[in-house]
Amino acid sequence: MKRGVSPGTFDPVTSGHLDIIERASAILDELVVGVAHSPDKGGGPLFSIDERVGFIERATAHLSNVTVRPFDNLLVNFAREVGATVIIKGLRAVTDFEREFQMAQLNYRLDRDIETMFIMAIPEYMYLSSSAVKEIARHGGSVRGLVPDEVHEAMQERLKRSR
Ligand code: PNS
């Protein structure tokens, strides 16, 4: 039984994240998507932890071996808690590499029983990120297709109120 954890802030989840989750779920027996509270990231998340978890739960409802859980501790401790032995990360353009390499090294140092593995983003999602999606939406651009429809609508609503 191979259980993995796919961590992130997911503010909000994008089609790129969902592609990685789907591909990881196909090679593992079970995948736990770990949604980090990340209260300090980028001036605070746009969506609450419950909203972020809910978006992913509904977008992955068709994947029977995927569960979604919030976490607010060290990733390796969270992985241990849920019985995962592998951390799955998506890797986009080269700019991701340095940060991901550092996190993988530190996590390995913290717990040698947990391995980090990377799945390469497909070209279509190579430059897609939650922060780019928020920036586009904030300036009135359409992010349809880059996030689940429900997230697109929630962003329109949320950003309309703050504009
Ligand atoms: O989607 P993000 O914001 O790039 O995800 C970053 C995340 C949540 C994976 C990372 O910040 C993390 O692992 N946070 C948990 C705290 C932790 O374990 N930090 C040490 C990692 S070296």
Is residue 28 a contact partner of residue 3, using CB atoms and an 8 Å limit?
yes
pLDDT band at 42 (very low <50, low <70, confident <90, very high): confident
Is residue 35 a contact partner of residue 69, using CB atoms and an 8 Å limit?
yes
Is residue 85 a contact partner of residue 113, using CB atoms and an 8 Å limit?
yes
Residue 47 tokens, joined: 């969506």
User: pLDDT for 84-109, tens place per residue?
Assistant: 999 999 999 888 999 999 999 999 99
- How many other CB atoms sit within 10 Å of the CB of residue 27? 13
Q: Does the CB atom of residue 129 touch ligand 1 within 6 A?
A: no
3-state DSSP call for residue 96? helix
pLDDT of residue 159: 83
pLDDT band at 162 (very low <50, low <70, confident <90, very high): low
Looking at 2, 41, 58, 144, which residue is catalytic?
41
pLDDT band at 160 (very low <50, low <70, confident <90, very high): confident
Which residue from 11, 10, 33, 9 is spatially nearest to 22, judged by alpha carbons? 33
Q: Mean pLDDT across the stretch 9-29?
A: 98
Residue nearest to atom 7 of ligand 1 (CA): 8
* Pocket residue to mutate for ligand 1, from 5, 37, 38, 105, most atoms within 8 A of Cβ: 38
* CA 101 to ligand 1 center in whole angstroms: 12
* CA 119 to ligand 1 center in whole angstroms: 17
pTM for the predicted model, two decimal places: 0.96
Is residue 54 a contact partner of residue 157, using CB atoms and an 8 Å limit?
no
User: pLDDT for 49-72, tens place per residue?
Assistant: 999 999 999 999 999 999 999 999
Cis omega (within 30 of 0) on the bond before 7? no
Please name every residue paired with 71 in a beta bridge, in sequence order, or none if there are none: 36
CA distance 9 to 26: 22
pLDDT of residue 93: 85
Please name every residue paired with 3 in a beta bridge, in sequence order, or none if there are none: 30
